[in-house]
A = this chain, B = another copy of it.
Amino acid sequence: MKGFTHTDGKSVRMVDVGSKAVVRRTATAEGHISLTEDTLKLIRKKRIEKGNVLVTAQIAAIAAVKRTWDLIPLCHPLPVTGVDVEFDVTADGITARVTVRCDGKTGVEMEALTGVSVALLTIWDMVKSVEKDEDGQYPETAISNIRVLKKEKAELEEVVE
């Protein structure tokens, strides 16, 4: 196979995980979006013009979790079994927390992180008109502190139909 570029350290590969065990995988990730007081008030009163911000963000996060393999180039496709998306509306913004479960050969932290990112982006999109200043800029809006809270694996539990 002389001449092929594979081993020169500059190319990309999707590492084979065929020999890894299928175990129960769980990962929880979190992140925060800073919003103005006005926006937070409108969210609490459910008066955002585009509609229900948090449910829309939950659904967007779940969809993104399921599509992580198609968004992150070297992620493996995984049969996700469950997704939880929670929000904490704080004094200066909203914290999103996503937990992903899967019986698979690789961890699901990228799925949880992708869910958090898309949840926060969706919140931003829903409140654009109130976050923008008079010049159409976003001086206060920012997403930060996206991180993995916990990653676990365990033997497959006994199945119960």
Q: Quote the shortest CB–CB distance from A17 to chain B (angstroms).
A: 5
Q: Closest B-chain residue to A87, C-beta based? A: B5
User: A97 contacts which chain B residues (CB < 8 A)?
Assistant: 1, 4
Give the one of A55, A82, A101, A118 with max B CB within 10 A.
Answer: A55
Given B23, B117, B125, B150, which contacts A121 in the complex, CB threshold below 8 Å?
B117
Would A51 and B12 count as touching, CB distance under 8 A?
A: yes
Whether, in the assembled complex, A130 has its beta carbon less than 8 Å from a beta carbon of chain B, the answer is: no
Would A161 and B49 count as touching, CB distance under 8 A?
A: no
Give residues 7-53 of A contacting B (CB, 8 Å). Answer: 9-24, 31, 46-47, 49-52
Report how far A61 CA is from B105 CA in the complex, Å.
22
Whether, in the assembled complex, A134 has its beta carbon less than 8 Å from a beta carbon of chain B, the answer is: no
Q: Closest B-chain residue to A160, C-beta based? A: B19
User: A11 contacts which chain B residues (CB < 8 A)?
Assistant: 51-52, 54-55, 58, 85-87
Give residues 105-146 of A contacting B (CB, 8 Å). Answer: 105, 107, 109-110, 113-114, 117-118, 121-122, 124-126, 128, 136-138, 141-146
Q: Which 10 pairs between the two chains have the least Cβ-Cβ distance?
A: A16-B82, A12-B51, A143-B146, A18-B81, A4-B86, A144-B144, A14-B83, A21-B159, A3-B88, A6-B86
